[in-house]
């Protein structure tokens, strides 16, 4: 008789658990469907928040951003020419050099005393927002874009390693905003 009662209790418990699981599943399905149709204004706000691409993402995944217009924001780490500067990201855990994203402007950046307060001046290492097209350039293409001989003695005088460039991602800047 005890075996029969225990068996009935187990069956009732199993049925209750199955009903509970079905109710939870229905709730989750309904919530999932309602979130798919969700508030379009909320989705637009999320898209607008994601305009700025992390410099690390571009440096580590250049093919993803190849030929796309992007917006990045960072502090200038080094000036290469009067038309180009870099953003540095990371560095290895074991003390390796940081990776760099090269930004190339269309025209030379003027000296700081010749610009307005919100404009970038040559040599300033400040936080900026850059909008432009990400492209991958090999050594020859970079020389053409910068109008600089990477094997020349003038570029070797600079304290950067641009003269060791083989291939990498750059941003051809359409606009630069000093933050």
Give the pLDDT confidence of 89-137 residue by residue, as tens digits: 876 566 677 788 999 999 999 999 998 888 899 999 999 999 999 999 9
Q: How far apart are CA 32 and CA 38, in angstroms?
A: 10
Compute CA 157 distance to the chain's CA centroid, rounded to the nearest angstrom: 31
Question: What pLDDT, in 10s, does the model give residues 39-59?
Answer: 444 444 444 445 889 999 999
**How is residue 89 written in tokens?**
């990201």
Strands 99-104 and 167-178: parallel
Helix (H, G, I), strand (E, B) or coil at 41: helix
8 Å CB contact between 160 and 80: yes
CATH architecture for the domain at 55-178: Beta Barrel (2.40)
Beta bridge partners of 84: 81, 104
Domain map (residue ranges) of the chain: 2-48, 55-178
> In whole numbers, what is the pLDDT of the chain averaged over residues?
82
Q: How far apart are CA 126 and CA 140, in angstroms?
A: 29
Q: Return phi, psi of residue 170, to 5°.
A: -135, 165
């Amino acid at each position: 008789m005890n075996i029969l009662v225990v068996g009935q209790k187990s069956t009732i418990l199993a049925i209750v658990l199955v009903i509970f699981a079905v109710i939870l599943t229905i709730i989750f399905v309904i919530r999932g469907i309602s979130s798919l149709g969700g508030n379009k204004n909320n989705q637009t706000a999320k898209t607008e928040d994601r305009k700025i691409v992390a410099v690390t993402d571009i440096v580590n995944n250049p093919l993803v951003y190849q030929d796309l217009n992007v917006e990045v924001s960072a502090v200038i780490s080094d000036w290469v020419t009067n038309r180009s500067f870099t953003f540095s990201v990371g560095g290895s855990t074991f003390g390796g050099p940081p990776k760099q994203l090269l930004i190339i402007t269309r025209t030379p950046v003027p000296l700081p005393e010749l610009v307005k307060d919100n404009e970038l001046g040559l040599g300033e290492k400040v936080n900026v927002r850059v909008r432009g097209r990400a492209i991958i350039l090999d050594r020859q293409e970079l020389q053409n874009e910068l109008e600089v001989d990477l094997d020349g003695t003038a570029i070797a005088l600079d304290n950067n390693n641009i003269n060791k460039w083989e291939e990498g991602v750059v941003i051809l800047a359409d606009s630069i905003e000093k933050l």
